[in-house]
């Protein structure tokens, strides 16, 4: 590695940053020497009603038990504790609504709100173990609802508010939720978009088949008229807001389920990833403290993720609140009313830690540096990235323009399944490299291996490998809701002999042994940091009567990382075969899944490339979608098929 003044390959922290950092370099060795003692030390940052008697029980692998015998309450740790320790007046949330309204919520306020909600959910007859679906935008009540569920031991299942009624119903059914919490509507670029209506539609989606839902609890956000089902629907302001603001938290077992969060797999059916309590809170709070170098007294933290994704769960709700953070919560899009919005918010609240996704960084680059340059961003001292590999050009821009050329960037690799950050630089220690996630965080180990499970050699760029996690970690998933067989098959079968977790990502180690994550090696696409499976989009497409067969690939995209490209064969009775059909199909996918799954391109083709065993060769379709020369076509049944596909491409 060469270092030159204008293009250094590695960026060490400044001496001042390193000296003031929460942890020093010795932490890696301490963790490696005795991993369990290390994790016990991290768990001791939390309040336990009863301390555990065993750190890890791995005898039921691949289902781990962490902090066996320990009892705690997650909401007590995230809220009550701070108030009881005299920090009730500290701001928990600086909430910024899209239309420009704002609210300041202290830890005392949060305690009262969460207690009211817990009292009312109890009044509704919900008891520990019952599931609650939450279909809400970025407003404080969403966090209140999550914490109230956690307080009562009700596993919540957040469904991203951009998902369709069909997707919502699928998730409600799978978890058999008794309650849905939602809003009348959400603000989207100045317009109210209905959400309660989507819940109504979801609950009716299967005609006569009733759902498990008994009540729909509705927060009034936009003030539009909504249909009302007497007996089932309840207004938040008439119920929760009137409830008693005092509630005593009970302790739950460390392994009590905390939430289910659905994520795309390689089949059309989303997987309900199950997370539990003690280990999850230990690792989310620990990583939030060390990876962002978070200092609760002085930092103003902002994670721009939506609370409906895992990043929102772990780094807006549980990790930061367990650490008593003061944070920004923003309801809207980055360009409403204009592209200055994020920078205005940073200036207004003096944000010091900013955590976002590479796709947004690339969007900011496209809008131009004159926009952030018009603002004082000097308060920023740590920048974070998550969701996909960050390209070096975006990394450098992020550091120079948003981080004043000095803020360390933590490129954090993790997954819905891992629950918390696994691989990342530590900002006061690591000399970071643009585009590399670098090293597992202390307490975590990972390896890059080939098909046979042999460690790949450093610096061997040709022989990239698979990323595996070779030891259990506290915030690991405990299974797939209702389908433990799929849990084993998806993550543990690939390297069954070794007992490793297969992450589904490709990776390489450079000559220094630093780790670079290269992206998915399975049929999961990454669109603006959102995981969408090719199978899900394919099944939405063939759901249309005009489509006989569909194949979907993720093609590289300058802004969104990947874009969805579909190839479809139409049925004989498809009335339209041109651009109207393509538009209709795009709309159909958006309707069936979500606008985020809308294909960038759909090509109507006469045939799809298949192997002799009938498997669609996506690799070749990707070559076509990215305009490359075709790779090896020798295993195709009919190598001529591509001439037909190319001739028939209609953009």
Stretch that binds ligand WTA, among 16-24, 48-56, 307-315, 443-451 (CB under 6 A): 307-315
- Closest residue to ligand WTA, judged by C-beta, is 416
Q: How far is the CB of 417 from ligand WTA (least distance, A)?
A: 7
Our finding on whether 413 is near ligand WTA (CB under 6 A) is yes
Which residue, 94, 179, 184, 100, is CA-closest to 140?
Answer: 94
Our finding on whether 597 is near ligand WTA (CB under 6 A) is no
10 Å Cβ neighbour count for 507? Answer: 25
Our finding on whether 284 is near ligand WTA (CB under 6 A) is no
User: Is there a binding annotation on residue 191?
Assistant: yes
Q: How far is the CB of 287 from ligand WTA (least distance, A)?
A: 12
Q: Which is nearer to ligand WTA, 67 or 502 (CB)?
A: 502
Strands 300-303 and 561-570: unpaired
Q: Do 222 and 183 form a contact (C-beta atoms < 8 A)?
A: yes
Selected from 288, 294, 478, 531, the binder of ligand WTA by CB under 6 A is 531
Give the contact letters, 389-408, x = binds to ligand WTA (CB under 6 A), - = no: x-------------------
Phi then psi dihedrals of residue 290, to 5 deg = -95, -35
Q: Which is nearer to ligand WTA, 505 or 588 (CB)?
A: 505
User: Is there a binding annotation on residue 242?
Assistant: no
Our finding on whether 356 is near ligand WTA (CB under 6 A) is no
Q: How far is the CB of 3 from ligand WTA (least distance, A)?
A: 24
Our finding on whether 416 is near ligand WTA (CB under 6 A) is yes
Q: What secondary structure does DSSP assign to 331-381, as a single string?
A: -S-TTSSSTTHHHHHHHHHT--EEEE-HHHHHHHHHH-THHHHTS--TT--
Q: How far is the CB of 261 from ligand WTA (least distance, A)?
A: 9
Extract the tokens encoding 536.
Answer: 């899900």
What's the DSSP call for residue 604?
Answer: E
Q: Which is nearer to ligand WTA, 170 or 263 (CB)?
A: 263
Our finding on whether 412 is near ligand WTA (CB under 6 A) is yes
Residue 137's SS3 state is: coil
Extract the tokens encoding 51.
Answer: 């301390």
Extract the tokens encoding 392.
Answer: 């070096």
Our finding on whether 35 is near ligand WTA (CB under 6 A) is no
Q: Which is nearer to ligand WTA, 278 or 425 (CB)?
A: 425
User: Is there a binding annotation on residue 311?
Assistant: yes
- From residue 179, give the alpha-carbon distance in Å to each of 199, 306, 497: 11, 21, 42
What's the DSSP call for residue 455?
Answer: B
Tell me which residue has tokens 């045939």.
607
Q: Do 596 and 530 form a contact (C-beta atoms < 8 A)?
A: yes
Distance of CA 372 to the CA centre of its chain: 26
Our finding on whether 505 is near ligand WTA (CB under 6 A) is yes
**Spatial CB neighbours of 439, under 8 Å, sequence gap ≥ 6:** 28, 423, 424, 425, 430, 514, 515
User: Is there a binding annotation on residue 187?
Assistant: no
Our finding on whether 520 is near ligand WTA (CB under 6 A) is yes
Phi then psi dihedrals of residue 439, to 5 deg = -145, 145
Distance of CA 183 to the CA centre of its chain: 22
Give the contact letters, 235-274, x = binds to ligand WTA (CB under 6 A), - = no: ----------------------------x-----------
- Binding to ligand WTA, residues 426-455 (CB under 6 A): 437
The terminus-to-terminus CA distance of the chain in angstroms comes to 43
Which residue, 132, 171, 135, is CA-closest to 153?
Answer: 132
Strands 601-604 and 530-533: unpaired
User: Is there a binding annotation on residue 473?
Assistant: no
Our finding on whether 113 is near ligand WTA (CB under 6 A) is no
Our finding on whether 386 is near ligand WTA (CB under 6 A) is yes
Residues that bind ligand WTA (CB under 6 A): 263, 309-311, 386-389, 411-416, 437, 503-505, 517, 519-520, 526, 531
Binding-site residues sit at: 188-191, 311, 335, 387-389, 411-416, 505, 520, 528, 531, 542, 544, 547
Q: Which residues are annotated as a binding site for ATP?
A: 387-389, 411-416, 505, 520, 531
């Amino acid at each position: 590695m060469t270092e030159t003044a204008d293009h250094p390959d590695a960026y060490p922290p400044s001496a001042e940053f390193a000296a003031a950092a929460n942890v020093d370099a010795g932490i890696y060795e301490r963790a490696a020497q005795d991993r369990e003692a290390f994790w016990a030390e991290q768990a001791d940052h939390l309040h336990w009603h009863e301390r555990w008697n065993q750190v890890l029980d791995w005898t039921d692998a691949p289902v781990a038990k962490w902090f066996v015998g320990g009892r705690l309450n997650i909401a007590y740790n995230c809220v009550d504790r701070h108030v009881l320790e005299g920090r009730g007046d500290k701001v928990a949330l600086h909430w910024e609504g899209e239309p420009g309204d704002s609210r300041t919520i202290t830890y005392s306020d949060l305690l009262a709100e969460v207690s009211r909600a817990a009292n009312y959910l109890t009044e509704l007859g919900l008891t520990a173990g019952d599931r609650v679906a939450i279909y809400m935008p970025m407003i404080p009540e969403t966090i209140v609802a999550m914490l109230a569920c956690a307080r009562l031991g009700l596993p919540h299942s957040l469904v991203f508010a951009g998902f369709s009624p069909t997707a919502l119903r699928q998730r409600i059914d799978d978890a058999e939720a008794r309650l849905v919490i939602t809003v009348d509507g959400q603000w989207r670029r100045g317009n109210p978009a209905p959400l309660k209506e989507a819940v109504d539609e979801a609950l009716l989606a299967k005609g006569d088949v009733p759902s498990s839902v008994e009540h729909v609890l509705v927060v009034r956000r936009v003030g539009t008229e909504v249909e009302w089902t007497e007996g089932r629907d309840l207004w938040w302001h008439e119920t929760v807001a009137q409830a008693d603001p005092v509630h005593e938290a009970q302790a739950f077992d460390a392994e009590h389920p905390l939430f289910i969060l659905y994520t795309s797999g390689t089949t059309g059916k989303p997987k309900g990833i199950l997370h539990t309590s003690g280990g999850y809170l230990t690792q989310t709070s620990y990583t939030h403290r060390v990876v962002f170098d978070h200092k609760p007294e002085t930092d103003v933290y902002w994670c721009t993720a939506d609370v409906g994704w895992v990043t929102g769960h772990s780094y807006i709700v549980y990790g930061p609140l367990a650490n008593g953070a003061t944070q920004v919560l923003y309801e809207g899009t980055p360009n409403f009313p204009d592209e200055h919005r994020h920078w205005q918010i940073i200036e207004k609240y003096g944000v010091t830690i900013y955590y976002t996704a590479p796709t947004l960084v690339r969007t900011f680059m496209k809008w131009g540096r004159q926009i952030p340059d018009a603002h004082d961003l000097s308060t920023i001292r740590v920048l974070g990235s998550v969701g996909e590999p960050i390209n070096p050009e975006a990394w450098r821009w992020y550091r120079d323009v948003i981080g004043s050329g000095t803020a360390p960037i933590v490129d954090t690799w993790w997954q819905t399944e891992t629950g918390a950050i696994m691989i990342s630089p530590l900002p006061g220690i690591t000399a970071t490299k643009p585009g590399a996630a670098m090293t597992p965080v202390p307490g975590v180990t990972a390896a890059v291996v080939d098909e046979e499970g042999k460690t790949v050699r450093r610096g061997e760029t040709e022989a990239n490998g698979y990323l595996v996690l070779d030891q259990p970690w506290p915030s690991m998933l405990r299974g797939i809701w209702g389908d433990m067989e799929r849990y084993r098959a998806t993550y543990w079968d690939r390297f069954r002999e070794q007992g490793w977790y297969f992450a589904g990502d490709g990776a390489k180690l450079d000559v220094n042994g630093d780790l670079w994550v290269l992206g998915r090696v399975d049929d999961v696409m990454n669109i603006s940091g959102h995981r969408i499976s090719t199978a899900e989009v394919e099944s939405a497409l063939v759901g249309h009567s005009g489509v006989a067969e569909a194949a979907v690939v993720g093609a590289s995209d300058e802004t969104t990382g990947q874009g969805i490209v579909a190839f479809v064969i139409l049925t004989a009775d498809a009335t339209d075969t041109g651009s109207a059909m393509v538009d209709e199909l795009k709309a159909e996918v958006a309707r069936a899944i979500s606008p985020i799954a809308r294909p960038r391109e759909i090509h109507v083709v006469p045939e799809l490339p298949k192997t002799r065993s009938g498997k669609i060769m996506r690799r070749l379709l990707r070559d076509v979608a990215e305009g490359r020369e075709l790779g090896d076509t020798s295993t195709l049944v009919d190598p001529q098929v591509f001439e037909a596909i190319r001739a028939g491409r209609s953009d």
